[in-house]
């Protein structure tokens, strides 16, 4: 899944289309994310003890990750991201070259990063 916790995303479909926010929580099993302050719903809570009153609680509801895109400040809109490998010197490689470098024995450290092809932006 290319969307992670603390990413700044934009909602691409539904009633909340065009709204932006930070991802608070991700459920990988159901592929849903909770975006801060977006997709607010009201839940009616029953009184748990005698003498208490029931309340109405407003909370964020999860959104499917297919309806979210990572927001790019450079592009000013949501962008698609792909996975690349970044070397210690900041150079980007595709999967085949990264595998060759990591097994070459010269001690080059390679890590996986999210990369936008249109803007060249790297999302940590």
pTM of the model: 0.78
Tell me what pLDDT residue 92 has: 79
61 & 72 share domain: yes
44 & 20 share domain: yes
Report how many domains make up the chain. Answer: 2
What residue numbers bound the domain in which 6 lies? Answer: 1-79
Tell me what pLDDT residue 101 has: 62
Domain end marker among 42, 61, 79 = 79
Tell me what pLDDT residue 105 has: 55
Question: Whole-angstrom Cα distance, residue 59 to residue 86?
Answer: 39
68 & 106 share domain: no
92 & 66 share domain: no
Q: Which of 67, 7, 8 is nearest to 32 (CA)?
A: 67
Question: Residue 70's domain is classified under what CATH number?
Answer: 2.30.30.30
70 & 105 share domain: no
Tell me what pLDDT residue 67 has: 96
Q: Which residues of the chain have pLDDT under 70?
A: 95-108
Tell me what pLDDT residue 43 has: 95
Tell me what pLDDT residue 91 has: 77
């Amino acid at each position: 899944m290319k969307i992670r916790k603390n990413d700044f995303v934009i909602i691409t479909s539904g009633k909340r289309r065009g709204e932006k926010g930070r991802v608070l929580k991700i459920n990988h099993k159901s592929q849903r994310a909770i975006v801060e302050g977006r997709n607010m719903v009201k839940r009616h809570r029953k009184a748990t003890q005698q003498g208490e009153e029931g309340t109405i609680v407003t909370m964020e509801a999860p959104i499917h990750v297919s309806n979210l895109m990572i927001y790019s400040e450079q592009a000013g809109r949501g962008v698609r991201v792909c996975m690349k490998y970044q070397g210690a010197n900041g150079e980007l490689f595709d999967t085949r070259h990264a595998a060759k470098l990591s097994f070459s024995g010269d001690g080059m450290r390679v890590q996986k990063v999210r990369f936008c092809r249109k803007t060249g932006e790297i999302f940590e």
